[in-house]
Amino acid sequence: MKYVVPIHQREDFYLDKIIQQKFSSFLMSDSKWVKLIATLVANVAIIKECLVKPIWEEQEPTRHLLFDENTYYDFDYYASAMESMVSGNPRGWYAYKEIEWLDFPGFITTKGKATPVTQDLEAIELLLSKVGKFQLESTKENLRLYAYLK
């Protein structure tokens, strides 16, 4: 009898292969992601925009981490993945290990507004420090949180 590998295991194998090839250090556990995302959702008044870079994309991100004051983040599957919280295609589930980094831009250009909105990066960094230790890179333009290092 021939054994067929379930689709979710093939996806995990594919992701693990990319991670091994591209990165030297893994910095985030699923439990750390859960704490981080819960904190971001709980502080939606401070977090105005968060860009997401999946491990399998090469270009600069145009994806956003989607959440607002109505986001309910407490389902059992959030222990290892999130649903409908990353913009772009493919839509749906994203395992935490698919995220290379999050980026909080200092200036946000919003539709319908001529001047950019500023985001308080120091306040965001303070929030992050309350969650745990992260590999951060801070400039005037952005605050980046790394899940992997190359």
Q: How confident is the model at residue 13 (pLDDT cuts 50, 70, 90)?
A: confident
Residue type, 34: V
- pLDDT tens profile 73-119: 555 557 778 877 888 877 778 888 989 999 999 998 666 666 778 99
CA–CA separation, 63 vs 89, rounded Å? Answer: 9
Strand partners, 102: 52, 145
Read off the pTM. Answer: 0.82
